[in-house]
Structure 1
């Protein structure tokens, strides 16, 4: 099982291929998993925001996780199962069912309809940890969470829940990194993929649940490995990633497209797998016709991702 010391690197996220009738295309999903495994990321995770965790039935959830577990165990690829759900009871039931799949960790969010106070957060994670047994927990706390925690909160929760080993967070400015740095030795801190080189430079980031891997699982893995040997060059790559985002992604965000829509668009721009841009009802997606123009820009700015 993972620990705070061994949870590192570039983790690629599953994205759900959706058919025109709003069903999940499991054939394309299986092909996507095979491509990800072939890219040899540090790990794969399911049911993050990009995996549309908020828009699945429990039967679909179980089928997705079983498929991922079978493929990853067969190839000895670490995987994490996102059991996140706005309802704490559903999250708990998901952990209870998924323990048998033996993931390397479970990702959880705090209950998300009624926000939780400090004691409630601890109670929630303690019960989830008890259900998980020896499988550790990672707290998914991105900027769109209703309750965005501060650095001291993560330390408090780790004291209350020893099997809580890592977080996904938004990162921040120099003051945030300074506040977070004391906890980096005992907690695996994953920052946004497009700021990963900065997080490594600051001595805080252990890795990313990576939106950059949406562009290219292989490219994101190459970039992570570059950070270990040539951080200056990796920071130059980051600057070009941000330039691409500013040019081709931010306008869609400003137009009201959701993060899952943006992540699927990134995958379509990268052209590495059979995901498509379609989201499930009622959410809008970026039309496929928009992909070609952004792909040209991406290839110009990030040629290494397409080699």
Structure 2
């Protein structure tokens, strides 16, 4: 296992998922219960408004209420939290960043402006202004596979080097060559790899942690698995292989064959894990996976991935 540079933001981070009622409204009482459950699970941190948090489907008033609820509960008990200020419109995103600074998160996550892919120069210009608005709170760039422009390690490193206030990035990883390029170009960034690849990311000396889909399935199990990587990386890699097989066999086909979104898949994982009051419903117009599918897969998950449910 390669020696890694320590980062202030690291480890197993749980995503905040929105409980959506039959009337298409956010069920805030259930959201508060969810935050409390994640805190009790002892995860390394909680973050809001990634793709699975449906940031693209919120009003600004809803955004503010979600973040204040997260901040209040986490601050009260000393739980680390990151606010996702993501929004396709760059101007709205800057205002979300400005308001988020008042809640004093450990970091603020942003995307590159959406709809039309930005150039390197446009990305740098946006990130510099976002850093200024962030008023000293560091930024994490969210650059998943479904971003309009997915940055390879060299390009990501060049852009972030021009904006020192960006201290990390959530990325899709790749093969051995990708990891070699990441070690070469991204050593100064806290990199967050996909949750089901975290043991590989740790072994390769690249990952600071994960904003984790495995946490969607089992927050406590994902936390225990993350801790085990420092003690027995080979056992952690064995569990990773089984997690990936479970995802490829039972979860990914919902996207490949039926066109469900990544947010729908993450909510399906949460319903399979059955640890909180989230459900599988997405906000209109996005389609939701039937809760019966989650119920059918619960015993399968507990049989194939028993370590996550001890």
Judge same fold: TM > 0.5, yes or no. yes
Which residue is 1:91 aligned to? 93
Aligned partners of 1:4 and 1:187 also within 8 Å: no
Which residue is 2:201 aligned to? 199
- The CA deviation at 1:289 is 1.0
- The CA deviation at 1:295 is 0.8
Which residue is 1:292 aligned to? 295
- The CA deviation at 1:183 is 3.8
CA displacement 1:131-189 (0-9 Å, x = unmatched):
10110000000000000011112221222111110001110111111101124431101
**Residues 1:180 and 2:201 aligned together:** no
- The alignment partner of 1:149 has SS state of coil
Which residue is 1:108 aligned to? 110
Equivalents in 2 of 1:108, 1:14: separation in Å?
Answer: 16
Which residue is 2:275 aligned to? 272
Q: Which runs of structure 2 are paired with 1:209-288 in the superposition (5 Å)?
A: 209-254=211-256, 255-288=258-291
Equivalents in 1 of 2:91, 2:193: separation in Å?
Answer: 28
Aligned partners of 1:4 and 1:186 also within 8 Å: no
**Residues 1:305 and 2:287 aligned together:** no
Equivalents in 1 of 2:268, 2:77: separation in Å?
Answer: 28
CA RMSD of aligned residues (A): 1.1
- The alignment partner of 2:230 has SS state of helix
| 63-72 vs 155-164, greater mean Cα deviation | 155-164
Aligned partners of 1:189 and 1:205 also within 8 Å: yes
Which residue is 2:151 aligned to? 149
CA displacement 1:16-68 (0-9 Å, x = unmatched):
00000000000100000000000111110000000001101000000000000
Which residue is 2:121 aligned to? 119
Equivalents in 2 of 1:155, 1:288: separation in Å?
Answer: 41
Aligned partners of 1:4 and 1:165 also within 8 Å: no
Q: 2:60 aligns with which of 27, 46, 58?
A: 58
Aligned partners of 1:11 and 1:45 also within 8 Å: yes
Equivalents in 2 of 1:105, 1:143: separation in Å?
Answer: 22
Which residue is 2:136 aligned to? 134
- The CA deviation at 1:244 is 1.1
Q: Give the ranges of 4+ consecutive aligned residues of structure 1 lying more than 4 Å apart after TM superposition.
A: none
Aligned partners of 2:138 and 2:167 also within 8 Å: yes
Equivalents in 1 of 2:294, 2:82: separation in Å?
Answer: 30
Equivalents in 1 of 2:178, 2:244: separation in Å?
Answer: 20
- The alignment partner of 2:300 has SS state of helix
- Runs (5+) with no aligned partner, structure 1: none
